Chain A
Amino acid sequence: MSIWLYILRRLIELVPTLLGLLILIFLIARVMPGDPVKLALGPEATQAQVETFRTQLGLDQPLWKQFGNYVVGLMQGEFGVSLRTFQDVGDDIRDSLGATLELVITALILAILFGVPAGLFSALHRDSWIDNVTRGVAISGVALPRFWVGILLQIWLASMLGLFPIIGRDSGIAPEATTGFYTIDALLNGNLRAFVNALWHLALPAFTLALPSAAQLARLTRASMIEVFRQQYILVHRAYGIGPQRIAWRYALRNGLTAVLTLIGLTFGALIENAVLVEVVFSWPGISAYGADAVLAKDFNAVVAVTLIIGLAFLLANLIVDLLYGVLDPRVRYG
């Protein structure tokens, strides 16, 4: 089967899952007790105003009809009206998506840069004291609550030492938006000051988000490298009299790294998931923080939209990993 057919098949397989997710989240968000409309309009609103707004939102219709309307709207790229900002949820989200992606991707790069070499190093020097130290640090690092790490960094590095900004994404010199990534946009505009400013704001949130993931990546990389060392073909190389260093770098690493790729996919998922904590701590204007505010405000359209988008990103990340896996490892066939 050609790779394009395979991609197409996998994308089609996503449809029932996404539809199921939509039904699940829609039901959760629409059958909540209490009156979100009343909550949104505040205690001053008259009963007539509440009823009018309710009709506008289509909440007076039966649930299955509401769902149908929602799906039809979704097909046209409409996520409904937010009960908190009274704008279209799609418009609200559009700007924040870039902020979250910039944060998550930077954190992913940091996690890979720290985690993978640490895990490799640990595996190559298995059971040495340095391996034990690395493992100890990694297993503790996984236990760090991100919101707490962020607060500690805010206290010590941002407030006490003044090395970094405490919150936010820019100091009022946001570059003109092209990609939604401030760092890249600043470079595209040739605005070095904005670039440095964006990086400076990005540093602590990205590091906070990355730290436990780097630790987890180091652990998993170590485990999968050790698994590779156990394989028969490594034994064969050893029987031929090839030195351990050469085996490690020339023969083990390639297969080990294919496994690491899957782990990077998992890491991406964990980063998307936990971005919300970091965004809230650092007032990062991302989609997850928007989602958290929406949950607190019982803004159901926004909750459904954010959850769907996070689910979609998660599923697509898994798909991309599967595809890359086949590219890197010829033993894997698409089918």
Chain B
Amino acid sequence: MIYTTRKTLLEAIKDGEEISWHEFYATYRPLIILRGSDFQLTADEKEELVQLVLLEIFHKRKSFQYDRNRGRLRDYLRKIIGGKAVDILRKRKNNHVSADVLDYWPDKDSLLEQSWEKEWQGHLWTQALEILRNRLKPVTFQAFELHVINEKPAEKVALFLNISVNMVYVAKSRSVKNLRTIIRELQDII
């Protein structure tokens, strides 16, 4: 289930929907891991970051109020991930391991902000693809995925899916049109 129209995933978690934690993990883990790289965390620290962020959201879920006028989900997550990453760096410093990143942390704000913007946009695109998968007929999505994402020749895709070559191009055209709409919707919601 993809949360696109009525409520955000965070709101679903707040409501105690069981499936939501798994979906939250699957949806946001890549983004958190990527953000961990901006803070120069090690692979283990990035996994720790994922856990800390999820636990923080678990603890704060009941007080979570999504209000577009008060701040976007993007900013809410950025603050939580950033705060936890700094906690990990502080812990590293206490353990007398190199904490250079923390030392010049204040000057990195604008760079980190730019990275976050890029990462968040990337996250939206990956989510858009998942939503597209649910919106299209399986064969249409498969044709799009094989031909466009996996860059397989239209002829081979057509043969594999037992459709005409023209249908592969129709699938591509339909997918692009839908993707534009989905991206607009996502930017509007979150």
Q: Do A and B come from one complex?
A: no
B residues with a Cβ closer than 8 A to A are: none
A residues with a Cβ closer than 8 A to B are: none
